[in-house]
């Protein structure tokens, strides 16, 4: 017997629950970050995990802390690639997971492959929407979810907004939907102490400046230009009299170049730093004074949770899960989606009132610790997976 065959035999004899997480890509993003937190955080004496990426993108592999987590790629080609389902079938037959957990409409059809491969329990999570279906009303995507509903035992919604949408628009039974909000590591993401703003390059962030920051994907649904426009308006309103407001936008994507060009055309490139994707987001957040997310639609934003845990006031679009996370007048402000002038006005209030920043930031931190800890999220996922497996035992 080869070493590979011995490894497979050993895995099959392992009594722990094996969860196979199927994602479109295991790359930088809030959904994928949530998968990493689940894999790293669930007790290893009860659970094993496997990551299956439908594409070949696995940039987050290095963030996995456990050594026993295989990361497989299906190498699905753009467009219709029916061979990808055969490759996925072979991977599932080899791994033989107890649970397959798919996410968003892009992988919901993999539940059918899991059923054919003999996977006993199938879970599907809804984490947010893309620009092509920002309101969740696309008939094609609704029909896809309804078609695969009978093959799925449990749907997971990360926000109240998505939970209600699954029940009303998709038409799921209430008992089939379980809301599990994202969680944040409040030990890793914490308030600034001392002179930690020095983590930011002095070239862009001179002493005494007020840092407006964001961490997001530079894509249409995230609308990064909304923040760029608001930032320019704030700078123009304040002029030379100050305070000196600077911009930090962490992340990457197809619109990053467009944002950089806009800031340069507005003669504000010197006041903005767009460093791309970073591994030191927790440290960079502690260099910010105000966190802003002006997206068109959100599920439950991991970056808002991280900003809250970092004791930052949050200015965000009044949409989706943001309505659940941000308490206007207490932990931040919500503004009309796509309204750069309203976004600028909210930012300006915090820029000009340090006491308000401190008060709302402190309240945001307290709320993150109290209601959105990663321990609470992990306990709920543990309970869900164990409940499914208990059904198997009761039926046998």
CATH number of residue 33's parent domain: 3.40.50.2000
Predicted pLDDT at 74: 94
Residue 365 shares a structural domain with residue 282? yes
Q: Kindly state whether residue 26 falls inside one of the protein's structural domains.
A: yes
Considering only CA atoms, which of 357, 96, 127 is closest in space to residue 221? 127
In total, how many domains does the chain have?
Answer: 2
- Judge whether 28 and 60 are in contact, CB under 8 Å: yes
- Judge whether 249 and 216 are in contact, CB under 8 Å: yes
Residue 240 shares a structural domain with residue 92? no
Predicted pLDDT at 79: 81
Predicted pLDDT at 80: 82
Residue 321 shares a structural domain with residue 378? no
Residue 99 shares a structural domain with residue 236? no
- Please give the helix or strand (H or E) that residue 99 lies within, else none: strand 99-103
Q: Kindly state whether residue 191 falls inside one of the protein's structural domains.
A: no
Residue 52 shares a structural domain with residue 175? yes
- Please give the helix or strand (H or E) that residue 161 lies within, else none: helix 160-168
Q: What is the chain's Cα-based Rg?
A: 22
Residue 223 shares a structural domain with residue 179? no
Residue 276 shares a structural domain with residue 366? yes
Q: Kindly state whether residue 111 falls inside one of the protein's structural domains.
A: yes
- Please give the helix or strand (H or E) that residue 317 lies within, else none: strand 314-317
- Judge whether 196 and 218 are in contact, CB under 8 Å: no
Q: Kindly state whether residue 18 falls inside one of the protein's structural domains.
A: yes
CA max distance for the chain? 76
Q: Kindly state whether residue 189 falls inside one of the protein's structural domains.
A: no
Phi first, then psi: give them for residue 9, nearest 5 degrees.
Answer: -60, -40
Predicted pLDDT at 396: 31
Q: Kindly state whether residue 156 falls inside one of the protein's structural domains.
A: yes
- Judge whether 285 and 307 are in contact, CB under 8 Å: yes
Predicted pLDDT at 17: 96
Q: Kindly state whether residue 190 falls inside one of the protein's structural domains.
A: no
DSSP state of 364: H
Lookup result for tokens 């003999």: 118
Other Cβ atoms within 10 Å of 260 Cβ, number: 16
Residue 100 shares a structural domain with residue 117? yes
The 290-293 sheet, strands edge to edge = 272-276, 245-250, 210-215, 290-293, 314-317, 332-335
Residue 307 shares a structural domain with residue 381? no
**Nearest-angstrom CA–CA distance, 315 and 225:** 15
Cα 367-129-58 angle, rounded to 5 deg: 90
Strands 17-23 and 99-103: parallel
DSSP lists the bridge partners of residue 51 as 21, 71
Range of the domain at 154: 3-183+374-395
CA distances from 16 to 38, 107, 120, 371, 373 (A): 15, 25, 14, 29, 25
Q: Which structure tokens are listed for 201?
A: 């390059």
Residue 177 shares a structural domain with residue 201? no
Residue 179 shares a structural domain with residue 316? no
Residue 83 shares a structural domain with residue 165? yes
Please classify residue 81 by burial: count the beta carbons closer than 10 Å to its beta carbon, then call 0-12 exposed, 13-18 middle and 19+ buried: middle
Predicted pLDDT at 394: 44
**Nearest-angstrom CA–CA distance, 396 and 394:** 6
Which residues, other chains included, contact 364 with Cβ-Cβ below 8 Å and sequence gap of 6+? Answer: 307, 308, 309, 311, 312, 313, 314, 331, 332
3-state secondary structure labels for all residues of 171-232: CCCHHHEEECCCCECCCCCCCCCCCHHHHCCCCCCCCCCEEEEEECCCCHHHCHHHHHHHHH
Q: Kindly state whether residue 188 falls inside one of the protein's structural domains.
A: no
Percent helix, strand, coil in the chain, to 5, is 45, 15, 35
Residue numbers of the chain with a pLDDT score lower than 50: 1, 197, 394-396
Other Cβ atoms within 10 Å of 367 Cβ, number: 18
- The count of C-alpha atoms lying within 13 angstroms of the C-alpha of 128, restricted to the half-sphere facing its C-beta, is 23
Predicted pLDDT at 305: 96
């Amino acid at each position: 017997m080869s070493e590979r065959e011995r490894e497979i035999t050993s895995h099959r004899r392992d009594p722990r629950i094996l969860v196979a997480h199927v994602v479109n890509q295991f790359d930088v993003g809030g959904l994928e970050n949530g998968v990493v937190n689940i894999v790293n955080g669930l007790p290893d004496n009860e659970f094993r995990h496997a990551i299956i990426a439908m594409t070949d993108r696995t940039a987050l592999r290095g963030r996995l802390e456990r050594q026993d987590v295989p990361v497989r790629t299906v190498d699905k080609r753009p467009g219709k690639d029916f061979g990808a389902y055969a490759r996925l079938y072979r991977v599932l037959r080899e791994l033989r997971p107890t649970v397959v957990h798919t996410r968003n409409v892009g992988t919901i059809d993999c539940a059918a492959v899991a059923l054919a491969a003999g996977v006993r329990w199938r879970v599907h999570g809804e984490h947010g929407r893309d620009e092509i279906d920002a309101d969740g009303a696309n008939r094609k995507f609704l029909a896809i979810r309804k078609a695969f509903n009978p093959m799925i035992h449990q749907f997971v919604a990360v926000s109240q907004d998505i939970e209600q949408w699954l029940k009303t628009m998709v038409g799921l039974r209430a008992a089939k939907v379980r809301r599990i909000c994202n969680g944040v590591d409040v030990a890793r993401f914490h308030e600034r102490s001392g002179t930690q703003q020095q983590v930011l390059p002095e070239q862009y962030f001179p002493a005494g400046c007020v840092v407006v920051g964001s961490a997001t994907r530079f894509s249409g649904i995230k609308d990064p230009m909304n923040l760029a426009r608001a930032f320019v308006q704030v700078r123009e309103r304040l002029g030379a009299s100050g305070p000196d407001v600077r911009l930090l936008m962490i992340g990457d994507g197809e619109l990053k170049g467009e944002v950089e060009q806009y800031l340069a055309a507005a003669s504000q490139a010197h006041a903005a730093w767009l460093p791309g994707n970073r591994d030191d987001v927790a440290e960079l957040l502690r260099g910010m004074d105000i966190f802003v997310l002006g997206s068109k639609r959100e599920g439950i934003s991991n970056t808002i949770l991280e900003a809250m845990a970092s004791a930052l006031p949050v200015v965000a679009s009044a949409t989706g899960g943001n309505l659940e996370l941000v308490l206007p007048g207490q932990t931040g402000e919500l503004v009309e989606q796509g309204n750069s002038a309203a976004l600028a006005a909210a930012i300006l209030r915090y820029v000009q009132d340090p006491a308000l920043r401190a008060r709302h930031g402190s309240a945001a931190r307290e709320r993150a610790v109290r209601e959105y800890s990663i321990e609470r999220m992990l306990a709920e996922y543990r309970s869900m997976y164990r409940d499914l497996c208990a059904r198997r035992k009761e039926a046998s």
